[in-house]
Every structure is written in structure tokens, then in C-alpha cells.
Amino acid sequence: MVTFAVPRLSFPGHIVSPSGITVDPSRTEAIKNYPPLISVAVAALLLEEFDGELQPIAYASRTLFQQERKFSTYELECLAVLFGLEKFRPYLEHIEFDQQTDNQALSWCLSHPRQLGRIGRWVVRLSSFKFNVQHITGSQNFIADALSRMYDTPADIPVCPMVLDFPMLFEDIATHQNADSVLSPIIRQFIAGEVERGYSLRCGVLNFKAHFDGKPKVVIPEILVPALFAYFHDSPCGGNLGVRKTLWKIRQSFIWKGMDADISGSVRSCRLCGLSKPTQHAQYGMLASEVASRPMEKLFIDFLG
């Protein structure tokens, strides 16, 4: 009979006791508590073949709603296809294109539209598109695969000089403030020792303490408002964002009377924003038939009575 000096002995990865050798529970805790795979978003990529190579045109993605995260793999794959095609409808609606997916079961579902349930309803919504379903292997789906792999950070990161320098006219903002009919009297009051409530002079530039965050902001004269809006909205740095985001960016450093109304009106009158704004209604039907390329290619019938 073997006698142990201690009731239990911890050996790397195991527990030795009079009852035998068992696996150390603390070493398997990570395996037992391994978090399950949860899908959080769907994404799509629009590619165009140019000189024999596929070039990206646009990317799109959105997070899943709480009930959508309970969908099966096939439903999530089909939802991603539906999201991508409807997102890129202006590019794809009247042309024939290839839809690639690495889910073989989904490619069968899309090719056989007589389905019931949720996927069947989605396939009906996809029927307005003319596309060929292509199954590709997971290794060929390198775009989605790249998102799950850690890349090596290069030693030298190239910098693309896209960011424009801040407009040079803002370096002379004090001169423009002194020439403004509204701001120049306030500046003269400060020089005379009369402090205007909320205003302050810093390095000769007039500032005003904003009510929304209590921090001093540079007061913009009326003549510089269009240039400031063009820099924070129309330029590549601005990105033609909406009213809320454009207003938030400008508010970080600048202020002027009627700023909210000016920015809102300028964004709403922006031609590029109007062209890019998505429609808030269902897609209109085809207002004209497609032109046939040969006789008897299309036949039209109607019912009477």
C-alpha cells in the first residue's frame, strides 16, 4: 500500500491523489469557458474587372440587429448577399453580374428560388437582379479571410499626402476679425479695458466661450464662413458629411452667430450630398422596358377581362 505525505499533489497539468491521476481543472478552464462564435456584422464588396484584375469599387457593411444574430449560417450568408445587392443596386440593377460566395449550400438556395420561409422571401427580393451565382472556396475568398488574420506591420509605413494644409487665410484671422463690422467694436472694447461677457482675447484673436461645452472658441468673421465650411465639408478632409457631423467638427474650434443655421443650410444645399443621399422609400418599378437586341427576344402578354 502506497502512503502519501499530502492528500493531493499538483503536477503540471494533473492532480495526483490516492484516488488516481486526474486533469487539473484550472488548466481546462479556458477550454470550458471558450466564448462561442457570434456574428456581429455583414459586409459586401463591389468589384470590377479591369485589365484582367478585379479592382474594388465600393465597400459596405452594417451591424446585425439582436434578432439577426440568432440566424443560422445560411441565413446570415443570404442576408449578406441581400444587403450587398440592395446597397449597390444603382450599379447592378440593369446589368448581368457574378455573385460569389464561399457557402455552397447558399449558392444552391440562390439558384433554386422555390424556397419557403425567410430565405425564400429574400430570394424573391433578389429576383429583380440578373446575376450568376458562383461558389468559390474559402481560400479563394481572400477578402473575407483577410479580416480574420493578423497582418505583419511594415517597418516603414507609407504616408499618402492626401490631407490638405489648413487654408492659409486662417493664419490672418485676427486681421479679418478687425475688418469685420460686428467683431471689430468688440475688439476695440477689449483694448479700451471694457471686457465683454463671454469674450476673450488670446494672442490678438477674439474668442468666445461656447455654451455647449464651456470652452473658448475662435470667433469666425462673416467673410471666412464659406471658406471654413468648404474646408470642413467639401474638401477631401471634410468628406461631405451630414449636418450633425460637420457641425461637430467645426464646433471643436470655431463659433459664430447663426452657426447652426448656416451649416444646416449649406449641407442641405450641397449638390454632391443631394446626389449621394439614399432614398427613403421603396425602389420604383422599371419605367421603361429593356431594349431587345434581336427580333422575338422578348414577348409581352396581357390579360383582358
Splitting the chain (305 residues) into consecutive groups of 10 residues, what average pLDDT does each group show? 67 74 71 66 87 87 89 84 90 87 71 68 84 79 62 62 54 84 86 79 85 84 89 84 90 89 90 76 69 83 76
* CA 153 to the chain's CA centroid: 23
- Nearest Cα to Cα of residue 134 among 104, 112, 114: 104
Q: Where in the chain is the domain with CATH 3.30.420.10?
A: 34-148
- CATH fold of 163-275, please? Endonuclease III; domain 1 (1.10.340)
Through-space distance between the first and last CA atoms of the chain, rounded to whole angstroms: 101
Q: What is the pLDDT of residue 172?
A: 80
- Nearest Cα to Cα of residue 126 among 178, 89, 90: 89
- Nearest Cα to Cα of residue 207 among 226, 188, 231, 183: 183
Q: What is the pLDDT of residue 163?
A: 45
Place of cell 457557402: 103
Q: What is the pLDDT of residue 276?
A: 76
Q: What is the pLDDT of residue 263?
A: 92
Q: What is the pLDDT of residue 287?
A: 67
Q: What is the pLDDT of residue 114?
A: 61
What residues have CB less than 8 Å from 135, skipping those under 6 apart? 100, 101, 102, 103, 104, 107
pTM comes to: 0.42
Long-range contacts of 158-165 (CB under 8 A, 24+ apart): 162/236, 163/236, 163/237, 164/231, 164/235, 164/236, 164/237
Q: What is the pLDDT of residue 7?
A: 72
Domain 34-148 has CATH 3.30.420.10: yes
Q: Where in the chain is the domain with CATH 1.10.340.70?
A: 163-275
